[in-house]
Amino acid sequence: MSIKEQARKQGIWKRVEIIGDIAVIGIPFDKKPEDLINVANYIMSTLPYIKAVWGRYRDVSGPYRLPTYYHIAGEKRSETIYKEHGCRYYLDFTKVFFSEKLSFEHLRVAKQVRRGEIIINMFSGFGPFSILSAVLGKPKIVYSIDINPYAYYYLMANVELNRAYEVLPIYGDAFIRIYDLEDADRIIAPLPELADKAYEIALQKIKKGGIIHLYTEIETKKGEDPIKIAMSKYSGSYYARIVRSVKPYTYHVVVDIKVN
């Protein structure tokens, strides 16, 4: 059996994520990073543009809500240029939150942005929501807040990299800094763990008729629909979709809310 077939059989192959010229393998709960060396070497030999392979556990910890990463093979480097929807992002995925599963959401939200809008992104990270919204929608301004100093640094770099000068990076706690800003036509709140707090504050800073894109964590019982639960929880909800499954019966769900 080839290494690739073994990886597929063990459920490892579908866990491989490509970030620029680096591959990241989601480490199964019953594996250690060193168990994946053969798979890592196979990836690098099959895909010559991959210069490094890292492993990632499905844990999240610390003030910046980051998973644990381990270097497995190749260059011991975690900075790279990631391309998505025509934009380029300079980032270190061990220092800022990254999820390829949000790629669809970045584009879905950005396509709704209208020229001249005032937007607040409460948890901007390295900038994928903010920058794509600026590039596609041509808003007046995208206030982009993050408490992680590395996210702030990479966001500033990515504003220049994409010439997205409508994006204004702001370093600090969104729950405090948001009160320094003007009211918004659209608020993006992509931090499911703090969704309820973000929702209450967003309601205070959204204009009448404005839109809140709220990413929330929904726990269900067997047979319950997380989308229905999410939409019933937030008044004004008109759209929702499951972004990903976090664990059995727990989901990250995006809810679009129109505030009247």
Q: Residue ranges per domain, the chain? A: 3-77, 97-258
For helices 128-137 and 103-110, the axis angle rounded to 10 degrees is 30
pLDDT at residue 7, as a whole number: 56
- What tens digit of pLDDT does each residue of 122-174 get? 999 999 999 999 999 999 999 999 999 999 999 999 999 999 999 999 999 99
Half-sphere exposure of 76 (CA within 13 A, CB side): 2
- What tens digit of pLDDT does each residue of 40-63 get? 999 999 999 999 999 999 888 777
- What tens digit of pLDDT does each residue of 69-110 get? 999 999 999 999 999 999 999 999 999 999 999 999 999 999
In DSSP terms, 145 is beta-bridged to: 170
Residue 162 has φ and ψ, to the nearest 5°, of: -105, 5
26 versus 164: the higher-pLDDT residue is: 164
Q: What is the DSSP letter of 33?
A: G
In DSSP terms, 83 is beta-bridged to: 88
In DSSP terms, 180 is beta-bridged to: none
Short-list 144, 150, 148, 183, CA closest to 167: 144
Give the CATH number of domain 97-258: 3.40.50.150
Q: What does the alpha-carbon distance between residue 117 and residue 126 come to, in Å, rounded to a whole number?
A: 21
- What tens digit of pLDDT does each residue of 164-207 get? 999 999 999 999 999 999 999 999 999 999 999 999 999 999 99
pLDDT at residue 59, as a whole number: 84
pLDDT at residue 11, as a whole number: 65
- What tens digit of pLDDT does each residue of 13-25 get? 678 899 999 999 9
- What tens digit of pLDDT does each residue of 219-248 get? 999 999 999 999 999 999 999 999 999 889
CATH architecture assigned to 3-77: 2-Layer Sandwich (3.30)
Contact between residue 73 and residue 53 where contact means Cβ atoms under 8 Å apart: yes
pLDDT at residue 15, as a whole number: 80
pTM of the full predicted structure? 0.93
Task: Give the pair of three-digit tokens for residue 42.
Answer: 């196979």
